[in-house]
Amino acid sequence: MRKTAFVYDPFNLRHTQEGHPENYRRLEKTWALLQADGILKQLIAIPSSPAPVETILRVHSARYVEALQKLSARGGGHVDGDTYVNTDSYQAALLAAGGLLNLTDAVLQGAADNGFALIRPPGHHALPQVGMGFCLFANVAIAARWAQEHHGIGRVLIIDFDVHHGNGTQDVFYDDPTVLFFSTHQYPYYPGTGAADEMGVELGYGTTVNVPFPTLVGDQGYLEAFQRILAPAAREFRPELILLSAGYDAHWLDPLASMNLSITGYAKLVEAVMGLADELCGGKLVCALEGGYHLDVLAHSVLSTLRVLSDSGQAPSDPFGPPNEAERKVTTLLDRVQKLHGFTDSPVVAS
């Protein structure tokens, strides 16, 4: 068994809007399953606390942070057509980012081997100047900067397997050679970014790696992308910490997307990431919840991820199985991405 930590704060349930897909039930349902399963007893609970505002300002503009605080204090409203704010949203966003920072501290200080932040609102669409796509603060980007500035980490690898492209994370680090951003996502789809030739600029050119999948890609295509694209990119970059933006909306039952991943497929991706973490950075892996809008799929996906992270020996909790339709092949796409970045095939080391 590994020492796996988690962070969860029930206050984050208070950021919610009835009828919106990103509502409190996402955490409520997942937390209930984790409690019923009993896995939490085997994990290390990390306390939640608000992120210091100065840490948020390492990623977001002061003007945006102030505007978000004022909007929440006035009773709420919308940052954009998709992204709501209520009276508790600003505090919930600080707690989401802060919980992830505390978890990152625990892993980098050796109190835990790895961890999962069960947080919301999510973060990977939030831009430096404004939130969008259900996201208020760029949680994972904030954690990457924190690790660099408070723990002396030189190179951070961010992996994002949410079905939507993490445009906010990409924007923050697009010219930064110290952060490698790797994303698999449905394309073209919201938010419209993440083409294969979006590779960074200036000194950061080559440290953004996008795999823009067409619809109906499933377990095999995703795993091939991790083996053929992520593995050589990671080995060349040599990260000292891996952060995973864990969105589970590429599942075949998710109502907001059109992909064919299964929960078992997600577990294999987490195993692949753990293998790279073991090989390259002493197992230091910190995961943060992003999307996932089928409540039961989300709950079982998080449980399965925690089983993998903790080396529980239990199989994935997958009551839904694979989709009925065949998945789309992506060999030509992966060939193209490999060629763009100059990668050669490099198998993922199993954990």
Identify the DSSP state of 128. Answer: S
User: Domain locations in the chain?
Assistant: 4-341
pLDDT in tens, 9-20: 999 999 999 999
Cβ partners under 8 Å of residue 75, min gap 6: 86, 87
Give the distance from CA 52 to its chain's centroid. 21
The average pLDDT across 255-266 equals 98
Q: Coil, strand or helix: which one is 222?
A: helix
Give the distance from CA 78 to its chain's centroid. 23
The average pLDDT across 180-203 equals 98
Homologous superfamily assigned to 4-341: Histone deacetylase domain (3.40.800.20)
Average confidence score pLDDT of the chain: 97
pLDDT in tens, 301-325: 999 999 999 999 999 999 999 999 9
Is residue 125 part of the annotated active site? The answer reads yes
Sheet holding 285-289, edge to edge: 44-46, 4-7, 114-117, 285-289, 241-246, 156-160, 179-186, 208-213
pLDDT in tens, 63-115: 999 999 999 999 999 999 999 999 999 999 999 999 999 999 999 999 999 99
pLDDT of res. 344: 79
Is the confidence at residue 131, as pLDDT, over 60?
yes
The average pLDDT across 222-247 equals 98
Is the confidence at residue 142, as pLDDT, over 50?
yes
Please, are residues 321 and 268 in contact by the beta-carbon 8 Å criterion?
A: no
Distance from C-alpha of 127 to C-alpha of 170, rounded to nearest angstrom = 9
Candidates 15, 125, 165, 185; catalytic one: 125
> Could you tell me the pTM of the whole model?
0.97
pLDDT of res. 1: 87
Residues linked to residue 283 through DSSP beta bridges, in sequence order: none
The average pLDDT across 237-242 equals 98
| DSSP count for the chain of H helices, then E strands | 11, 10
Residue 23 tokens read as: 């509502």
The average pLDDT across 201-211 equals 98
Distance from C-alpha of 228 to C-alpha of 210, rounded to nearest angstrom = 13
Please, are residues 7 and 99 in contact by the beta-carbon 8 Å criterion?
A: yes
Instruction: Give the percent of the chain with pLDDT over 90.
Output: 97
